[in-house]
Amino acid sequence: MPPVGTLNINGLIYKVRPCGHLNPFAEPWHPLMNRAPESDRCLFLTFSKGHPLTEIEILTFFTHKYGNCVEKVYVHWAPPPGEENYGNDESSTTAQFGKIVFTGQTIPLLLTAGGAKECKFFVHGKPLWSPFPTPISIRVKNRDGRNSLLHRKTLLIIRATAMDSSETKPYYQNVVVMRHGDRMDNFDPTWKIKAERPWDPPLIDNGLARAFRTGLTLRNQLGFPIHRVFVSPFFRCVQTASEAVAALCSVGDNPNAKTSRDVVSSDPSKVKVSIEYGLCEMLNKETIRLDVAPKDGIFRFDIPKLEALLSTGTVDHTFERVYKEVPKWEETVMGTRSRYQNIVKALADKYPSENLLLVTHGEGVGVSVSGFLEDKTVVEVDYCAYSELKRPISFKNDSFTAGNFEVLTKSGQTGVTYFDNHQLVD
């Protein structure tokens, strides 16, 4: 049959041909409009013994080959079945396994269109296999409202030609920096009188609800997925992150959901969460009154207890903090601002192939704007306000080069208000 049309998706030219025995009442399926579940958008990866590959190498390879189509890459070390002792000596390297998740079903569909049981690539001369344990299927809706499950080979015959590497779309990393929700001591001044940790207030109920709603907003309106969340160890920030992550990981939309308690189903594999000391509150009397600060000037946090507040399965226990210790009491304002600017860049550099959400304090959100946008002064940061930054990333071999961050947030758009410095002077 003649092709019914062509699609240019992520640099691939597709000629689409209908199969004669398809249901004539089925609505057409479009890979750009119909987002498949993650299980149908991923490839599982295995590596040859002694030839491990990094996440950056895998991301770079698929990005150069197919365009900006990779959502996330997972790689972990594990011995193959029956070879548990493999890799115990210095002369060998433990085998690696992994998974790559694409933004759509197009690439897995393309690679499996010929009915192959596996696909083999060579990344910098290292072999990379992707077995196909089950055929990929696609759901379409008939005009009578019923769903039909169609095997990929009965749906499309695809001919694709990879684009020239010079036409590869640039990869952009996105970073969102968010303030915590409504804190208790600003609504109940008597709370601190009996509090064991008066310098570390929790959220009020409205703060929990605001954090959850903001998480839903990020999930539905950002236009890109959040892969990792980093959070200040202060209680109000961990509570905020817990609600936001619950919203990010929720499966399906419940219009009546107000907090994480209303989430019926979630997928914890969507996001990984870590506590980072570099996102701490500014530790001086500008933000923490002397009458509530620890007498010895040491701010102590029970990390396992705080991690238990986060959604089950989301905590990344392998994360190594950028700041190994809590900042010292009486740090300067300028020192704090420098810390916030440094931690945004350090975390982004640590995970250049992933989009990040940083849950911190008002000053941190302000610096995420003024520190990367010249001649701007932030004058207000609402509860759960957030800024959005992005930067171009280019990968080569096992290294990367990052461009400068661009601040996408407009003043007043997401709860952050700022002015040009010359306006303040005038």
Segment holding 173, helix H or strand E: strand 171-179
Residue 96 has a pLDDT of 62
What is the pLDDT at residue 25? 47
**What domains appear along the chain, each with residue ranges and CATH number?**
5-167 (no CATH), 171-425 (3.40.50.1240)
Distance CA 289, CA 209 (A): 27
Higher pLDDT, 358 or 148: 358
Whether the per-residue pLDDT at 418 is higher than 50: the answer is yes
Give per-residue pLDDT as tens, 31-63: 444 456 777 788 878 776 556 677 777 887 787
Express each pLDDT in 293-331 by its tens digit: 999 999 999 999 999 999 888 999 989 999 999 999 999
| CA 336 – CA 370 distance, rounded (Å) | 13
Instruction: Transcribe 298-338 into DSSP letters.
Output: -----HHHHHTTSPTT-B-TT---SSSSPPPTT--HHHHHH
pTM over the 0.85 mark: no
Q: What is the tens place of the pLDDT at every residue in 211-252?
A: 999 999 999 899 889 999 999 999 999 999 999 999 998 887
pLDDT of 200 > 60? The answer is yes
The dihedral built from the CA positions of residue 249, 254, 259 and 260, taken in this order, carries a sign that is: negative
Q: At what angle do helices 235-249 and 205-221 cross, to 10 degrees?
A: 40
Structure confidence by residue, pLDDT tens digits, 83-142: 444 444 433 444 467 888 887 777 777 776 656 667 777 776 677 777 765 444 444 444
Q: Whose CA is closest to 293, among 258, 324, 269, 329?
A: 329
Q: What is the mean pLDDT of the chain?
A: 78
Query: DSSP letters of 184-241?
Result: GGGT-TTHHHH-SSTTS--B-HHHHHHHHHHHHHHHHHSSS---EEEE-SSHHHHHHH
Residue 79 reports pLDDT greater than 80: no
Query: Is the confidence at residue 399, as pLDDT, over 60?
Result: yes
Q: What is the pLDDT of residue 114?
A: 57
pLDDT tens figures, 252-304: 777 778 888 877 677 888 899 999 999 999 999 999 988 899 999 999 999 99
Question: Is the CB of residue 104 less than 8 Å from the CB of residue 35?
Answer: yes
pLDDT at 19: 46
Helix or strand (DSSP H, E) at 421:
helix 421-425
